Amino acid sequence: MQLKNFNHFRLVALLILQLFQNLFSQQSYQVSLSTTSELFINVNINPESHQDIKPFDILVGLPDNTLPKIEIKKYEEKGHNYKIVQSNLKTGWSYNQKINDLNTATLTINPATERQTYFKSITIKVFFDSKAPIKSNYSARHEYLLAPKIINWNVAKKWVRPKYSNKESNDNPPEGRWIRFSISKDDIYRIDGELINSKLNEVGASLNFDPRSIMLFSSQSFGRDKTFDLTQKLISETSVPTNLSQIPLTIIGESDGNLSNQDYLFFYARGPSGFNIENNNVKWHQNLYFTKSEYWLLIPNDSSIRGKRIATDNIIEDGPLQLGFGLTYRHYEIDKINPQESGLAWGNQIISTGASYIEEIELDHPLQNTSGNATFGMIGNEKLSTRYKNTNHRIRVSKDGANLSEVSWSNIGMKSSSFNIPSELIQKGLNKFMFTNESENINSEPFFDFLTVSYQRELIYDGTFEFFSTLQSSDATYNIAGKDLIVWNISKKYKPVNIPVLSSDNTYFRVSIPPDTLQRFVVFKSSNIEKVEDLSIVNDKKWDILRSKNNSADHIIIGPEAFKDAVNRLLNHRGKSIYASLENIYNEFSGGNKDPIAIRYFLNWTQNFWSTPPLTVLFLGDADYDYRNITGQSKLITPTIQIGTLNTYSSDDRLVAFNGKIPEMASGRFPARNEEEVRNFSDKIVEFETNMQQGLWTQKITLVADDPLRPEKEAFELSTGKSHTLNSEKIFKLIPDYVEVDKLYLVDFPDSNDGTPFGVTKPDATQRLFDIINKGTSIINYIGHGNSTQWAQEKLLLINDKRDDIESIKTNMKLPIWIAGTCNWGHFDSINNESFAEQLIRTPMDGASAVISTTRGISVTGNIQFLLRLFNKIFEDGESSSLELGSILQSVKNGSSESELFHLFGDPAMKITLPHNIINDAIVTPDTISTLEVGTLSFNSPMESGLGNFVLQDPNKEKEVSFFYGSKMETISFQEKGSDLFKGKFKFSSAQIESHFRIPKDVSFSSNPAKIRFNIKSTKSDNYIGSVSNIFFKPGPPSIDIKGPLIVFETEKGRILRNGDHINQNTTVIIRISDPNGINITGKKGHEIKIKDLVSNQESDISQLFKYDINSITSGTYNYKHSDNQSSINLHVHAWDNANNPTESSIQLSLVEDNLLTLKSVLNYPNPFIESTQFTFELTSAAEVEIMVYTLGGLRVHTIGSNYFEQGYNRVSWDGRDSYGQLLSNGAYIYQIKAKNDLTKVNHIGRLAIIR
pLDDT at 86 > cutoff 70: no
pLDDT at 253: 97
For residue 198, what is the DSSP state?
H
Q: Which position has the higher pLDDT, 21 or 386?
A: 386
Mention the CATH class of domain 1046-1152. Answer: mainly beta
pLDDT at 835 > cutoff 80: yes
For residue 212, what is the DSSP state?
G
Query: Residue 962 and residue 189: Cα distance in Å, rounded?
Result: 76
Mention the CATH class of domain 2-159. Answer: mainly beta
Mean pLDDT for the stretch of residues 1222-1238: 94
pLDDT at 166: 53
Query: Residue 20 and residue 34: Cα distance in Å, rounded?
Result: 13
Number of Cβ within 10 Å of residue 282's Cβ equals 16
pLDDT at 1: 33
Alpha helices in 665-801 (DSSP H): 675-690, 718-734, 763-775
C-alpha distances in angstroms, 329 versus 193, 275, 366, 375, 862? 34, 8, 11, 11, 45
Alpha helices in 823-974 (DSSP H): 836-842, 860-874, 885-891, 897-901
Share of the chain above pLDDT 90, in %: 79
Mention the CATH class of domain 695-918. Answer: alpha beta
pLDDT at 513 > cutoff 70: yes
What are the pLDDT digits (tens) for 1171-1229? 999 999 999 888 999 999 999 999 999 999 889 998 888 999 999 999 999 999 999 99
Query: Residue 596 and residue 623: Cα distance in Å, rounded?
Result: 11
pLDDT at 130: 66
Fold of 923-950+983-1034: Immunoglobulin-like (2.60.40)
pLDDT at 143 > cutoff 60: yes
Instruction: Using alpha carbons, select from 855, 420, 869, 384 the residue that is nearest to residue 644.
Output: 855
Mean pLDDT for the stretch of residues 941-950: 92
What are the pLDDT digits (tens) for 146-167? 888 899 999 999 999 875 555 5
829: β partners: none
3-state secondary structure of 915: coil
Fold of 1159-1250: Immunoglobulin-like (2.60.40)
Instruction: Using alpha carbons, select from 1248, 1241, 1245, 1206 the residue that is nearest to residue 1226.
Output: 1248
Half-sphere exposure of 635 (CA within 13 A, CB side): 13
What are the pLDDT digits (tens) for 867-895? 999 999 999 888 899 999 999 999 999 88
Mean pLDDT for the stretch of residues 615-641: 98
Mention the CATH class of domain 325-458. Answer: mainly beta
Q: Is 75 exposed, middle or buried (0-12, 13-18, 19+ CB in 10 A)?
A: exposed
Please determine whether the domains at 923-950+983-1034 and 1159-1250 fall in the same fold group of CATH: yes
**Pairing of β 790-791 and β 752-753:** unpaired
pLDDT at 107: 93
For residue 349, what is the DSSP state?
E
Domain extent listing, the chain: 2-159, 176-319+466-537, 325-458, 552-668, 695-918, 923-950+983-1034, 1046-1152, 1159-1250
Query: Residue 1115 and residue 1133: Cα distance in Å, rounded?
Result: 15
pLDDT confidence tier of residue 987, bands split at 50, 70 and 90: very high
Number of Cβ within 10 Å of residue 957's Cβ equals 12
What are the pLDDT digits (tens) for 657-713? 998 899 999 999 999 999 999 999 999 999 999 999 888 899 999 999 999 998 887
Mean pLDDT for the stretch of residues 767-774: 97
Mean pLDDT for the stretch of residues 320-344: 96
C-alpha distances in angstroms, 565 versus 118, 573, 1106? 58, 14, 44
C-alpha distances in angstroms, 1128 versus 1061, 1067, 1125, 1146? 10, 12, 9, 13
pLDDT, averaged across the chain: 92
pLDDT at 515: 85
Number of Cβ within 10 Å of residue 420's Cβ equals 12
What are the pLDDT digits (tens) for 1121-1146? 888 778 899 999 999 999 999 999 99
3-state secondary structure of 982: strand
pLDDT at 815: 98
pLDDT at 928 > cutoff 80: yes
487: β partners: 499, 523
Query: Residue 511 and residue 456: Cα distance in Å, rounded?
Result: 19
Mean pLDDT for the stretch of residues 287-307: 98
Mean pLDDT for the stretch of residues 530-542: 94
Note the Cα 332 to chain centre separation in Å: 38
Q: Of 157-161, 435-439, 1020-1024, which one has max mean pLDDT?
A: 435-439
Query: Residue 726 and residue 783: Cα distance in Å, rounded?
Result: 10
3-state secondary structure of 595: coil
Query: Residue 1140 and residue 1121: Cα distance in Å, rounded?
Result: 27
What are the pLDDT digits (tens) for 20-64? 333 334 567 889 999 999 999 999 988 866 767 888 888 999 999
pLDDT at 27: 66
pLDDT at 84: 65
Fold of 552-668: Rossmann fold (3.40.50)
3-state secondary structure of 136: coil
C-alpha distances in angstroms, 54 versus 76, 663, 720, 728, 885? 17, 24, 14, 18, 28
Mean pLDDT for the stretch of residues 251-268: 97
pLDDT confidence tier of residue 16, bands split at 50, 70 and 90: very low
